[in-house]
A and B are shown apart, each in its own frame.
Chain A
Amino acid sequence: MNRERLYNFAFFDEGSKREVRRAILKAVAIPGYQVPFASREMPIARGWGTGGLQITLSLVGKEDVIKVIDQGADESVNAVSIKRLVVGTTGIRTTDDAREATIIQSRHRIPEFPLARGQILVLQVPMPEPLRFVESSEYATKRLHAEKEYSGAYLALFEEIMKYGRVATGADHPVLVHDRYVMAPSPIPRFDNPKMMRCEALILLGAGREKKIYAVPPFTKVASLDFEDHPFEVESLEGRRCRRCGAREVFMDEIIDDASGGAEYQCNDASYCASRTRARAGAPASGGG
């Protein structure tokens, strides 16, 4: 049987796409505000990127080129499955090159290559509510956002300073968007937070299980929460250098050598690393899907 007959273009019926797009429009209009939406049943389980996937599928057109990454990798199982679903229902082209893609769906990383005007970054979000750790009731957190009452978010950071002597967020460090809404940037490392500040691309965040969509429109002010005497800092990469491409000042994976027990470092963003390696070898920098 023909695939086109089994599924509408991009899997969803047009009504569902419109509903998701309506939520996206509202999210763009109110930067950082979590817009509730009717999260659909998907062919992958909730918690595996359904929020991001619904955004991608509702936006994708025939001319789009898609890149999907899972914690920096283009070829992990999760990234490949999502890519195959999108390609299988749309027939569009994929790429590994962040500069070439029009839509980049990502789990927990923002690519190292700076994003450009016209691109859309779709982040998968497990827990969209930055205040959930201090307030378990949705009824209450809605009101806290409405009244711009964000002491809870600061309290969580303060508690880390009291317990560990410094802010110890590993990922998902809360940000204040457009001086109004405190937002969970999804579990990206702190290293990626500054990339959101006045980013040229549109950033959309989708939480399928929690049924929320929110957005950072291009060129929006995004400030990480901090204290006067504990200013926001990214992870220290001092003295680290990628063992493959020689890059510094990018987010690294630590690889322990079993034989020697020593640590080596490698770019977490696999396609960034590959394109640098190819460029050094004199091959064309662009990666193909």
Chain B
Amino acid sequence: MAAEYDVSALRVEGLWKWFGPRCPRCSTGREEALERNYCPDCGTVYALRDLSFRLFEGEVLGVVGESGSGKSTILNCLYYDMEPSAGAAYLSSFEGGESDVFSVSAQAKRTVRNTLLGKVYQNALLGLKMGFSSISNVAEKLIASGDRNASRMEARAVELLGHVNIPPYRMRENPEFFSGGMQQRVQIAKALSNNPPVLLLDEVTTGLDLSVQAKVLDLVKQIQRELGISMLLVSHDLGVVRMLADRTVVMLNGKVVEAGLTDQILEDPQEPYTQELVHSML
């Protein structure tokens, strides 16, 4: 199967994100200039520091690490919810992987976001329009990618919502009346609506009860198998990563401290931080 993994669906190179003014001390990028990811002189926080990784086609890449290690910031930058400070990213589905998706025009960015990416937010409030019906929420991405046929979009939305087990009699309801697990499933349906080659998942199961967690995870796994979508899976839950991810990167203070096959990382962690993380698993 290794041959299929040769093509990278997403390539990220030298991604930086900092919050603050930066000063001569911390802009050198030297490790010892910072306390964890914080510059004590100017107060700049470094959320991502020179991050590079590849996501291969059809692969699920897990990103683990403690709160504040920069996991979600990666997804925010990739989905244009946040502007990166420096760095480049290439999608194989966008201009043959030749163009940096961070430096294209605002209109091209919308196209990338609306047609080539899907994102499931940790907080459904960010990913859904709570005052619109679930069908409309799914259709929103189709409308954004240029579809102007209402019945075709309705049929697609109904199909996807059925796929994520939203009962037909509730599809016209607003997600504000749904439980957290149902909202998360509507988000997944929305993210999948136009078959994006890359799906970004931010803590999809956090805050859900265990039985719902299992259902959502099953669903993600099933979708990945059936549609062969590449997924970037951010989670602080090692159990989720173990179940879904082929490879895993471990982040700490905005940097990757360890990367490798998920089993390898969980069974035989090399870095002290990863060892600590794995050993604190319940």
Contact = CB atoms under 8 A, between A and B. Distances in A.
B140 A163 contact: no
Contacts of A149: 110, 144
Contacts of A158: 136, 139, 143, 150, 153
Contacts of B129: 134, 155
Contacts, number: 49
Nearest to B108: A147
B143 A161 contact: no
Given A147-B107, A147-B110, A159 B132 contact: yes
A149 B114 CA distance: 11
A146 B149 contact: no
Of A148, A149, A161, A162, the most chain B CB neighbours within 10 A belong to A162
Contacts of B107: 147-148
Interface residues of A, number: 18
Interface size class of B (residues with CB under 8 A): 20 to 34
Contacts of B132: 155, 159
Contacts of B151: 229
A161 B150 contact: yes
Contacts of B144: 149, 151
B133 interface: yes
Q: How would you classify the secondary structure of chain A's contact residues: helix, strand, loop or mixed?
A: helix
Interface in B144-169: 144, 148-154
A162 B154 contact: yes
Contacts of B104: none
A159 B110 contact: no
Nearest to A149: B110
Given A147-B107, A151-B140, A155-B143, A162 B172 contact: yes
A242 B140 CA distance: 42
B106 interface: yes
B11 to A, nearest CB: 26
B143 A151 contact: yes
A228 B136 contact: no
Of B106, B136, B149, B152, the most chain A CB neighbours within 10 A belong to B136
Contacts of A154: 143, 148
A205 to B, nearest CB: 26
A87 to B, nearest CB: 45
Interface string A199-229: 0000000000000000000000000000111
B135 interface: yes
A229 B149 contact: yes
A143 B150 CA distance: 26
A228 B149 contact: yes
Nearest to A228: B149
A230 interface: yes
Contacts of B135: 162
Interface in A143-173: 143, 146-149, 151, 154-155, 158-159, 161-163
Of B132, B150, B151, the most chain A CB neighbours within 10 A belong to B150
A155 B41 CA distance: 48
A227 B133 contact: no
A77 to B, nearest CB: 35
A227 B153 CA distance: 11
Contacts of B114: 151
Given A149-B144, A162-B154, A155 B139 contact: yes
Interface in B170-213: 172
Nearest to B109: A147
Contact of A155 (B110, B140, B152, B154): B140
Interface string A226-256: 0111100000000000000000000000000
B141 to A, nearest CB: 8
A143 B144 CA distance: 15
Contacts of A151: 114, 140, 143-144
A229 B150 contact: yes
A227 B140 contact: no
Contacts of B133: 159, 162-163
Interface string B114-134: 100000000000000100110
20 contacts: A143-B106, A147-B106, A151-B114, A151-B143, A151-B144, A154-B143, A155-B136, A155-B140, A158-B136, A158-B139, A158-B153, A159-B133, A161-B154, A162-B133, A162-B136, A163-B172, A227-B148, A228-B149, A228-B150, A229-B150
Given A158-B150, A162-B133, A163-B133, 11 more contacts: A154-B143, A154-B148, A155-B143, A159-B132, A159-B133, A159-B136, A161-B154, A162-B136, A162-B154, A227-B149, A228-B149
Interface of A: 134, 143, 146-149, 151, 154-155, 158-159, 161-163, 227-230
